[in-house]
Amino acid sequence: MPVIVQKYGGTSVGDPDRINVVADRVVRAREEGYDVVVVVSAMGDTTDELFAMAQEISAAPEPRELDMLLTAGERIAMSLLAIAVNARGCKAASYTGSQAGIITDSKHGQAKIVDVRPGRIREALAEGKVVIVAGFQGVSTTADVTTLGRGGSDTTGVALAAALEAECCEIYTDVEGVFTADPRIESSARKLERVTYDEMLELAAAGAKVLQLRSVEYARRNGVPIHVRSSFTDEPGTWVAEEDESVEQALISGVALDDEEAKVTLEEVPDHPGVAATIFKAVAEEAISVDMIVQNVSHRGKTDLSFTVPRADLPRLTGVMDRVVADIGAHGYSTDAGIAKVSLVGAGMKSHPEVKADMFDALATEGINIEMISTSSIRVSCVVRAEDAHRAVQAIHRRFGLDGSDAVSE
Ligand code: ADP
Ligand code: ASP
Ligand code: MG
C-alpha cells in the first residue's frame, strides 16, 4: 500500500472538536487505501505555555529538563488523536519520537535528526494500524529526550516521509498553503500553486514560518514532495517540490517578514586583518547564529560593524560582546531589538537587476528607512524599524503586483 504522512500543526489539533475533525480526515485517507502515518504538534499554544511555566520557576532551566517538559505537549495531542481514531473503529496507535525511531544528536532545544529507524512504525502499519507520532522530538544517541527547534514537527513529518518512502508529506496548517506574503499581514496575498525547494528555503530562512527551514532542507535532500494545505478545508494547497522545467519561473514568489531578530553594532572597531574573525569566532563559540553583517568604510583606521542575531539570543550575546570589545579594542557596542527584516524572494530575479531598485523604491515611497541590506541570487533583504514592518511588506507586495494585478518588472 502507498504510504502517506500527514502532519497537523497546533491550531489544527487545538481542542477536542478539532481533534475529531482531524480524526475524520485520517480515517478518510485510510479508506482511500493509504498506509497513514500522522505527525502531530502540541495542542494550540501548549508549547509556549509549558515554556512560560518553566521560565516562572527558573530564568535558565536546564536544556535537558526543558526538552523533557516540552515534549509532553506533543504526547497529549498524539494520544488524544489515537483515541479519536480508534473511536471511529479504525485501529490506531501513538508513539513518542523515541519509539518512532527519530534519532538525533544531543543538542537540546535544537537537535538534528541523524537517523530514522522506523521499525515499530513499519510493524504497526503491517498490522493495519494508523500510526500517530509525536512531532518535534527524538532521542539522542546518548538516550536523552531532545527537541528539534520551534516548528520542528514539520521536520518530523518530512523525515518519516523520507524513511518510509511516502508518496508525499502533507503539512496541514491554519492557512490554505504558501502565500505571496503572510496572509495575516497582507490580506490580498495570493496562494501559490507550486514553489521550488530553493524558493521555499529562502522564504523559510527569511522568516515565513509556514514551514520550518530544516524541514525544507530535509525534503530537498531526500526528494520528498511537500503539500502545504489547510486542515479546515478540502482545497488543494501549495506543492513544494523540484523545479518543473516545463513551467516558466515566476519572477517573484513572495515577501517574508522576520520580526525575531535584533541588531548589534560594534563602534569604532580597529580596521585591520583578523578583527572580524575574532568577533565572529567568539559569537559562534556561543552557538549564536549571525544573519546579516554590514561593515562601514573606515575613517582613520576605525569602522562601525553591525550584524543581526536572533533576538532571543541577546542576553547570551551581552557577555560575549563585553569580552570582544576588550579583545579588539573597540569603543563599545549597542544592541537594538526594535528591528525587523523584510525580504523579497524569487528565482526569476537573477536575471532582473531592476528588482532590487524597485524594492528599495517601494520602501522609499512609503517613507521607510532601510538600515541594512543583504542579497542572495534569489533574495533581497532589508532591515527596517519594527514599527514599519507590516507597511513595508504591504508596500513591496503591492509594488510587485503579487496579488495578481499588474507586476512592475515583467
Ligand atoms: P502550524 O501550527 O500549523 O505549524 P505555523 O504557525 O507554524 O502553523 O505556520 C502557519 C502560519 O505561518 C500562518 O498562520 C501564517 O500566519 C504564517 N505565514 C508566514 N508567512 C506565510 C506565507 N508566506 N504563507 C502562508 N503562511 C505564512
Ligand atoms: N509544538 C512545537 C512548537 O510550538 C513544534 C511544532 O509545532 O512544530 O514549536
Ligand atoms: Mg509550524
What's the pLDDT at 42?
A: 98
Rg from Cα positions in the chain: 23
Q: How far is the CA of 266 from the centre of ligand 2 (A)?
A: 34
Q: How far is the CA of 209 from the centre of ligand 1 (A)?
A: 5
**Distance separating alpha carbons of residues 314 and 307, to the nearest angstrom:** 12
What's the pLDDT at 249?
A: 67
**pTM for the structure as a whole:** 0.93
**Can you give the residue ranges of every domain in the chain?**
3-174
Q: Ligand 2, residue 154: give the atom nearest the CA.
A: 8
Q: How far is the CA of 208 from the centre of ligand 1 (A)?
A: 7
Q: Which fold has domain 3-174?
A: Carbamate kinase (3.40.1160)
Query: Does pLDDT of 246 surpass 80?
Result: no
Q: Is the CB of 9 under 6 A from ligand 1?
A: yes
Q: Is the CB of 308 under 6 A from ligand 1?
A: no
Q: Is the CB of 152 under 6 A from ligand 1?
A: no
Q: What share of the chain is helix, strand, coil (3-state, %, to 5)?
A: 40, 25, 35
What's the pLDDT at 61?
A: 93
Q: Please, which pLDDT band fits residue 373 given cuts at 50, 70 and 90?
A: very high
Q: Is the CB of 196 under 6 A from ligand 2?
A: no
Angle subtended by helix axes 213-222 and 197-205, to nearest 10: 160
List, for residues 63-116, the tens digit of each pLDDT value. Answer: 999 999 999 999 999 999 999 999 999 999 999 999 999 999 999 999 999 999
Query: Does pLDDT of 410 surpass 60?
Result: no
- Ligand 3 (single-atom ion) residues, CB below 5 Å: 9, 151
List, for residues 160-196, the tens digit of each pLDDT value. Answer: 999 999 999 999 999 999 999 999 999 999 999 999 9
Average pLDDT value for residue range 11-17: 98
Query: Does pLDDT of 306 surpass 70?
Result: yes
Q: Is the CB of 77 under 6 A from ligand 2?
A: no
Q: How far is the CA of 136 from the centre of ligand 2 (A)?
A: 6
Q: Find the DSSP H helices in 224-313.
A: 275-285
Q: Please, which pLDDT band fits residue 403 given cuts at 50, 70 and 90?
A: confident
